[in-house]
Amino acid sequence: MGSNLETIILSSYFVSLCVLFGFGLHGFIMVYHHLKHRNDETILPNAMENENDFPVVTVQLPVYNEVYVVKRVIDSTCTLNYPKEKLEIQILDDSTDETTSVIAETVVNYQRKGFDIKHIRRGTREGFKAGALKKGLETAHGEFVAVFDADFIVQKNFLLDTLPFFADAKIGMVQTRWEHLNGESSMLTRAQAMALDGHFMMEQNVRNRAGYFINFNGTAGIWRKECIFDAGNWEGDTLTEDLDLSYRAQLKGWKFKFLPNVTSPAELPSEINALKSQQFRWTKGAIEVAWKLLPKVWKSDVSFNQKIHSTFHLTNNIVFPFILIAGMLNVPIVFIKHQGGFETYFSIMSIFVLSFVGSFMFYFYGQKEIYENWQRRILLFPLFMAGSMGFAVNNTKAVIEGIIRKKSEFVRTPKYNFVDNGTQMPVVNSLSTKKYVPNKLKLSVFFELLLALYFVFGLLSSLYFLEFAAIPFQALFFMGFSFTSFLSLKHIWLARKKRNIAVEPIYAE
């Protein structure tokens, strides 16, 4: 019986590491393409100079209960360096709180200043963000449509920097890189910043330069309206409507352009339960899009390399269940290895450390391409890895729901107008005075806490048996689950300190 159990554990561990190894090797492939194409000459289009030739542009600002940041995004949109008579602004407001009053007052003020700005309410959240964007398009006058979420600040030259690329009639969408308004506020936001920097510089930028599919990131980008309609318009049947429309458009033959040197500042989630909500939505949504569109990708006439890269792109979140399995099995593996008899097996397993190297190089170049002080930033990589492991429970649930096609509500990630100010604690403590902070204690938090204790046992066992090779990975798992469970409990406690504040659950268990 023991032999059978050992076989099951060793086989499951091997399969899990094989999956992680495959996606880790894809990191090497992205680094290869980065090094191959990083010196490619970027052909810049001619700047727009004659205002008579400027196209009409619609800027859509989808909003749902964002009282702290909605005025900021409207104010910045109205500072765009663009002729007023060629600019239409739509506030797509699905809010159910005082956000609507803030919008109404702000809109009236800008209408008096001569702006073509409209406050559009549907009276329903049908289709969520996709439904709001689709509703706005029914009356949009612009030939081009820019989209910004409420937590962004629109740069004055955004349109002047992006519109010239549409001189190529095949370009359907131009995406800019996100910057971080509060990226230095806490260890939580620093880890997020590293993840997003890697996504933009080593996924979006590299894929675009290498000629592979990229995606609209839901905000800070601009579409040719004809492209949206030709691709079938916005659809709300997945939680990542941006990824869905992106693939449908590119399968139709439209080209996308990513601009790594044109940036759009945004606020990162400062509260971990809201971040879990965001990660859950992004993870589950990508799996939903994979179910929906991967068969169409493989049936299409795009190149084989395109199909391979698209498959990795849409399915990379599948790693989270295998991260969880590999981590949990790592502890009994220590006992099995101590008993002896599997020397060949463990010798072969040592090759899987390359997947960790691939991930490191991926984020190393992501930091190096953006920051002059990348040496200091890359030191946070172990913390980032630990955080990724700590989110394995949350994101595994999202993957499973995506695979079994369980539908769930689109839950937006609230923001609080937090920006870097040289301090950390005041930002965290002020969560107790904010609306929208989730206060629902979920069972997954207790599971994360139990896993943290489980890896304490694993660390002690590894030390006892002198299995030093297992210690770094078990330490990362311990740090990750301790970090996520502790912060989850702390931020829920902060949310409950002020009982008269309306709070919302993130999502139902």
Q: Are 38 and 260 within 8 A, CB to CB?
A: no
Strands 57-63 and 87-93: parallel
d(CA 441, CA 438): 9
Q: What is the DSSP string of 363-398?
A: HHHHHHTT-TTHHHHHTTHHHHHHHHHHTHHHHHHH
Q: Which of 94, 149, 161, 244 is catalytic?
A: 94
Q: Is 94 a catalytic residue?
A: yes
Q: Which of 93, 151, 197, 242 is catalytic?
A: 242
Q: Please name the residues in contact with 453: beta carbons below 8 A apart, sequence gap of 6 or more.
A: none
**DSSP letter, residue 41:** P
Phi, psi of 87 (to 5 degrees): -125, 125
Q: Please name the residues in contact with 303: beta carbons below 8 A apart, sequence gap of 6 or more.
A: none
d(CA 187, CA 380): 9
Q: Please name the residues in contact with 182: beta carbons below 8 A apart, sequence gap of 6 or more.
A: 189, 267, 268, 270, 418, 419, 420, 427
Structure tokens at 79: 């500072």
Q: Is 242 a catalytic residue?
A: yes
Q: Please name the residues in contact with 37: beta carbons below 8 A apart, sequence gap of 6 or more.
A: 206, 209, 210
Q: Please name the residues in contact with 51: beta carbons below 8 A apart, sequence gap of 6 or more.
A: 83, 86
Instruction: Give the catalytic positions in this structure.
Output: 94, 242
